[in-house]
């Protein structure tokens, strides 16, 4: 039956979240209703608040979480009630071209591109005060209960601490995978990471795990440098300390530029700088930050003509349903740490304070 619970509803852009009682409909065929136990706050959620990522309102945001299956719709076979799970904002239907390809991971069932804010069948499972509330990229985790399609949920180790592995639902996997999966960083290489939030720090961890010998962390907030060094950065650079453009600074530091660069902010200026600072012939630059809506990049095509590769990465290039359980298993085997990525733990009703901390770089 319908569950009444608390959710953080965003009624319109540039307003605080409103904690409301919502009704969550039962799962239809091939859907799963999840009790959310822990959710992270990601800059992509904030991009919707500011309008940089265009989505329909009212909406329940959140996409980085972990929980327990409450009930399942008919035909669901991969999870059962009581299972610990992570919702997947990049689903894995197993049937579309990207899912069938060994090269791709961006399932055609994702709501990232269309931004419809609805379940795959074109309807919503949330109502509040008699109004239909939109879903966010197939997950909507800022609520005590959510409904996702079966292709958008992964069963994980029942012993996993949900308040930590929820980061595998977005931030950690996105950054770590951008390094090891998308860029395929090689041992002994030099890397530059622009942006040292949770995702950027996860890129640092991925570069270190891949054996990079030099990892240059770039951020305009020097408070981020201690943690970046703790996780593997060898150099930290604040662009504000220099008169010249940051790509020139990095070129001078490295001689020929870096082998791999990562833009983990979502700003067009830094995307071009990251491209320009990588080696002119075989450098690879990866865009990890969500690009702002309605902004274009103008750059000198000679940057690419000489041989550089410019690519994007969503969810770290991982095939979600296959990879998330394995990443959780790796965490349980202590192959990587997640604690340094967690700065604060707040009760759900303080979600607006959490976003204030995000916006002030804390």
SS3 213: coil
Active-site entry in 44, 71, 189, 261: 44
Contacts by 46-49, CB closer than 8 A, 24 or more apart: 46/355, 46/358, 46/359, 47/266, 47/290, 47/292, 48/10, 48/13, 48/136, 49/10, 49/13, 49/14, 49/15, 49/355
- Which is catalytic among the residues 63, 134, 135, 149? 63
Strand order in the sheet with 190-194: 235-237, 214-218, 190-194, 260-263, 284-287, 309-312
Tokens standing for residue 173: 């996997």
170 among known catalytic residues: yes
Segment (H or E) for 40: strand 31-40
77 close to 155: Cβ distance less than 8 angstroms = no
Active site residue 42: yes
Helices (H), 157-259: 162-165, 171-177, 198-209, 225-230, 246-254
Decide: 35 and 145 in contact? Cβ < 8 Å: yes
CA 288, chain centre distance (Å): 9
Query: What residues are paired with 34 via a beta bridge?
Result: 69, 146
DSSP state of 151: G
Which string of DSSP letters, residue by residue, matches 307-323? Answer: T-EEEE-SGGG--HHHH
Is 236 assigned a catalytic role? Answer: no
- Catalytic entry in 5, 30, 47, 158: 47
Contact, 288 vs 174, CB < 8 A? yes
Per the DSSP assignment, residues forming a β-bridge with 65 are 39
58: cis peptide before it, omega within 30°?
Answer: yes
Which is catalytic among the residues 99, 107, 166, 170?
Answer: 170
Active site residues per annotation: 42, 44, 47, 63, 170
């Amino acid at each position: 039956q319908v569950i009444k619970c608390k959710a953080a509803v965003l009624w319109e852009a540039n307003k605080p979240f409103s904690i409301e009682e919502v009704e969550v409909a039962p799962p239809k065929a091939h859907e799963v209703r999840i009790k959310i136990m822990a959710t992270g706050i990601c800059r992509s959620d904030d991009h919707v608040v500011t309008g940089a990522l265009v989505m329909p309102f009212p909406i329940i945001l959140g996409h980085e979480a972990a929980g327990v299956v409450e009930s399942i719709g008919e035909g669901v076979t991969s999870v059962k009630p009581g299972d610990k799970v992570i919702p997947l904002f990049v689903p894995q239907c197993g049937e579309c071209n990207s899912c069938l390809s060994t090269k791709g991971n961006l399932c055609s069932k994702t709501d990232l591109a269309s931004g419809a804010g609805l379940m795959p069948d074109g309807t919503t499972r949330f109502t509040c005060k008699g109004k239909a509330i939109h879903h966010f990229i197939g997950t909507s985790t800022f609520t005590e209960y959510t409904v996702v399609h079966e292709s958008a949920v992964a069963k994980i180790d029942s012993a996993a601490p949900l308040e930590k592995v929820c980061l595998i639902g977005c931030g950690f996997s996105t950054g770590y995978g951008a390094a090891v999966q998308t860029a395929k960083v090689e041992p002994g290489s030099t890397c530059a990471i622009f942006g040292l939030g949770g995702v950027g720090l996860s890129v640092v961890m991925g570069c270190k795990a891949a054996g990079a010998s030099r990892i240059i962390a770039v951020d305009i907030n020097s408070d981020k440098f201690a943690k970046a060094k703790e996780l593997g950065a060898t150099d930290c650079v604040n662009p504000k300390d220099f008169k010249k453009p940051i790509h020139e600074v990095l070129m001078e530091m490295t001689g020929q530029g870096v082998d791999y660069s990562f833009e983990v902010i979502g700003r067009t200026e830094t995307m071009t700088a990251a491209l320009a600072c990588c080696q002119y012939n075989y450098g690879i630059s990866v865009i990890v930050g969500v690009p702002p809506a309605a902004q274009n990049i103008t750059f000198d095509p000679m940057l690419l003509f000489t041989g550089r590769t410019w690519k994007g990465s969503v969810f770290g290039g991982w095939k979600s349903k296959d990879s998330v359980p394995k990443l959780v298993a790796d965490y349980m085997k202590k192959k990587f740490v997640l604690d340094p990525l967690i700065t604060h733990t707040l009760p759900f009703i303080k979600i607006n304070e959490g976003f204030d901390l995000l916006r002030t770089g804390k």
